[in-house]
Amino acid sequence: MKDAAKTKRQLINELHELRKSAVDGQSSVEQFRQLKASEERYRVLLDESTDPVFSFSPDGRYLYANRAFAQGVGKDIDQIIGRNIWDVFSREEAEKRFAALSHVFQSGEEKVIEIRVPRSDGDRFYITTITPIKDEQGKVLSAICSSKEITDRKRTEEALRQSEGKYSAIFRLSPMNVSLSTLVDGRYVEANDLWFQTAEYTRDEVIGHTSTELNIWANPEDRRRIAGG
């Protein structure tokens, strides 16, 4: 992902240098031809990328967006380029993106964020790298963004969290005494409510101790004496 993002940034930087040369009046006819040829070649590469690529002006207006980005947000390219973030996303989602974008323009530093794209057929998630494009004085003129979809990973993580939640409830409310301990030294790491009630131990007395240590505290009076120092 980093290599791909770096390649895309290099393409944008090369185009920026060619454009700047033309604007400064330093270019020859051959350089203009080189600019046009480079723009066409690089645009094809970016347009065909399976990763979303897009760029912004300082006010949050889209300067460029490839097909992967348009497909990701469920819009046509002509509904994106020239529009601002608020035209493409809801106010809440747009504000999150613009805050990260503003940080890049103000600091001049690259920023990586995780974003959600709400869709009627299911939300999509991306890791997006926002890279500043600067002039010779270090002023940020625009920002190029490259995204990598992580929707499958996010869905897997959510399924795991739900599974863990169900396991935790079953473990805690089990009608049987249940405890967990380490394989190396047999120290307790968890026990359910019924186990504590039956054993007449508190959580602080159990967690981190071995069964051998707990046997020393078999007598409630001894437990209180040792726990108290």
Where residue 91 falls among pLDDT bands split at 50, 70, 90? Answer: very high
Does domain 2-151 fall under CATH 3.40.50.261? My reply is no
SS3 of residue 138 by DSSP: coil
* Contacts of residue 194, Cβ cutoff 8 Å, sequence gap at least 6: 174, 175, 176, 177, 178
Check: CB of residue 45 under 8 Å from CB of residue 37. Answer: no
Q: Which residue has the higher pLDDT, 82 or 197?
A: 82
d(CA 203, CA 126): 41
Handedness of CA 94, 100, 102, 105 (dihedral sign): negative
Where residue 87 falls among pLDDT bands split at 50, 70, 90? Answer: very high
* Torsion angle defined by CA atoms of residues 72, 76, 78 and 84, in that order, rounded to the nearest 10 degrees: -40
Geometric angle at alpha carbon 32, from 26 and 35, rounded to 5°: 110
SS3 of residue 9 by DSSP: helix
In this model, does residue 110 exceed pLDDT 90?
yes
d(CA 174, CA 153): 31
pTM of model > 0.85: no
Reported as a single tens digit per residue, the pLDDT across 139-166 is 998 998 999 989 888 888 777 777 777 7
> Of all helices (H) and strands (E), which one includes residue 24?
none
Contacts 24+ apart (CB under 8 A), 140-143: 140/58, 140/104, 140/105, 140/108, 141/16, 142/16, 142/55, 142/56, 142/57, 142/58, 142/63, 143/55, 143/56, 143/101, 143/104, 143/105
Number of H helices, E strands in the chain: 10, 7
In this model, does residue 83 exceed pLDDT 90?
yes
Alpha helices by DSSP H, 48-150: 67-73, 85-88, 91-107
Where residue 221 falls among pLDDT bands split at 50, 70, 90? Answer: low
Domain boundaries, the chain: 2-151, 174-227
Where residue 95 falls among pLDDT bands split at 50, 70, 90? Answer: very high
pLDDT of residue 228: 47
d(CA 126, CA 161): 19
d(CA 144, CA 149): 17
* Cα atoms in the Cβ-side hemisphere of radius 13 Å centred on 78: 0
